[in-house]
Amino acid sequence: MNVKIENLTKVFPGRDRKSEGVTAVDEFTLDIPDGKLVCLLGPSGCGKSTLLYMISGLEHPTSGKIFFGEKDVTDIPPEKRGVGLVFQNYALYPHLTVRQIIKFPLENVKGEARLSKEDMEKRALEVAKLVQIDGLMDRKPGQMSGGQQQRVAIARALAKMPDVLLMDEPLSNLDARLRLHTREEIRRIQKETGITTIFVTHDQEEAMSISDMIVVMKDGILNQLGKPQEVYDDPVNLFVASFLGTPKINIFKGFVKNGGLYVGSDDKAEKILDVNGIDDRQVWIGIRPEGFEIAKDGKLTCSLKGVDVMGRDISVVCSHPADDEVIRAIISAENDVDRDAQTVRFNVKPHKTFIFDRETDERIRFS
């Protein structure tokens, strides 16, 4: 089922009458196509969980509308929306066994839609098999690892065959290895069931690796929406560019003058690219780590701090006066870097270089 969100706003009231409310989600409009896995991505406090809870119905929006398919569900209570929700800490009832937990939503159903006891058992076993916990049906949550609990939570959400599956940071309580494995699992389960899935995370790597579409949020506002690679290759502003990608994008102070892009701010500024169609102005220059090429006569000179070998690639760690942070350049291991040199010189790849307005942080495109 496709999910449509129109001008959705959520304002949490202040603690008392004097203090102002907090706008968690601001005029959010989004269209999620049927059967896709979509990530809501953003830093802590950006309103992504609030948005998810509004879609689930646990939070009521201040204004705006939510549609499931053609149906307006804005005022429909959560239990009638047909959503499954996986909570960040799983919310598994500690006194019930896995079998009882998975059957719990099924037993809530009344009337004709209620399954017979045998069918409930069958359905519970089906979803348990799907998430590969069918061997643990009689355990209680306390007797399982974090990864297994997480699967039970997914199984419970899937048992009632929801139209939309919502997940609130489902991997944040798992250790690094398990997280990697579980995200593949979530991808597989989503593919197998074809349920429209909305997934909240602050981990850009997680979002990039499993989603069909990512929604980058900041301060309750939608910044960019698109396929992971598109968003990475074509960020709309400085925030999106710096939020996505590991190692992080390198941000330099610079300016545009007479169709040339300069790094630095004074007479010593280095011209690194020819850019057309931009008026002279102060800018931020973002260069992805893979956007550097080592060259003897390179246009950008950095002081070399170290070289990390990572097998296939090498990571050149250096610094530049126009960037307060450490610069990381990732280049092919075939390059030969003189570790003892004081400086290292780069040329930059134009399609890995982004220019942002110094004031508004908005992307300025060049040709």
Partner 1 sequence: MSKKTLSGTNGVATNIRGWVYLLPALIFLIAFMVYPLIDVFIYSFEEGYNSASQSSFGVGLYNYQYVLRDPYFLKAVKNTFILVIITVPTSTILSLLIALGLNSIRALKNLFQTVFFLPYVTNTLAVGLVFMILFRKTPYSDGLVNALIGKFGISPVDFIDGPYWAKMLVLSIYVIWIVMPFKILILTSALASVPEVYYQSARIDGTSSWRMFWRITLPMISPMIVYLVITGFIGAFKAYSDAVAIFGVNLNAAGMNTIVGYVYDMLYGDGGGYPSYASSAAIILFAIVLTITVINLIVSRKATDIT
Q: Which residues bind partner 1 (CB under 8 A)?
A: 56-58, 77-80, 83-85, 87, 89, 91, 93-96, 104-105, 107-109, 156, 160
Q: Distance between CA 32 and CA 5 in Å, rounded?
A: 8
Q: Nearer to partner 1 by C-beta: 114 or 281?
A: 114
Least distance between partner 1 and beta carbon 65 (Å):
20
Sequence-ordered list of residues with C-beta below 8 angstroms from that of 68, at least 6 positions apart, any chain: 1, 2, 3, 81, 82, 163, 164
303: nearest Cα among 322, 289, 330? 322
Q: Nearer to partner 1 by C-beta: 103 or 320?
A: 103
Least distance between partner 1 and beta carbon 147 (Å):
19
Least distance between partner 1 and beta carbon 161 (Å):
12
Least distance between partner 1 and beta carbon 112 (Å):
15
Least distance between partner 1 and beta carbon 272 (Å):
51
Least distance between partner 1 and beta carbon 87 (Å):
5
Which tokens in the block code for residue 261? 């892009």
Least distance between partner 1 and beta carbon 89 (Å):
7
Contact 30, 217 (CB under 8 A): no
199: nearest Cα among 26, 52, 23, 19? 52
**Residue burial 296-308, b: 16+ Cβ < 10 Å; e: rest:** eebbbebebeeee
The H or E element containing residue 252 is strand 250-257
Which residue bears the tokens 């499931």? 68
Q: How many residues does the chain have?
A: 367
DSSP type of residue 96: S
Alpha helix (H) residue ranges in the chain? 48-56, 98-108, 117-130, 146-159, 176-193, 204-210, 228-233, 238-243
| N- to C-terminal Cα separation, the chain | 40
Q: Nearer to partner 1 by C-beta: 156 or 179?
A: 156
Q: Nearer to partner 1 by C-beta: 109 or 295?
A: 109
8: nearest Cα among 43, 48, 35? 48
Q: Nearer to partner 1 by C-beta: 153 or 225?
A: 153
Least distance between partner 1 and beta carbon 91 (Å):
4
Q: Nearer to partner 1 by C-beta: 57 or 264?
A: 57
Q: Nearer to partner 1 by C-beta: 83 or 214?
A: 83
Least distance between partner 1 and beta carbon 153 (Å):
9
Q: Nearer to partner 1 by C-beta: 121 or 219?
A: 121
Q: Distance between CA 287 and CA 16 in Å, rounded?
A: 46
Q: Nearer to partner 1 by C-beta: 67 or 87?
A: 87
Sequence-ordered list of residues with C-beta below 8 angstroms from that of 213, at least 6 positions apart, any chain: 32, 33, 36, 37, 38, 39, 225, 226, 227, 228
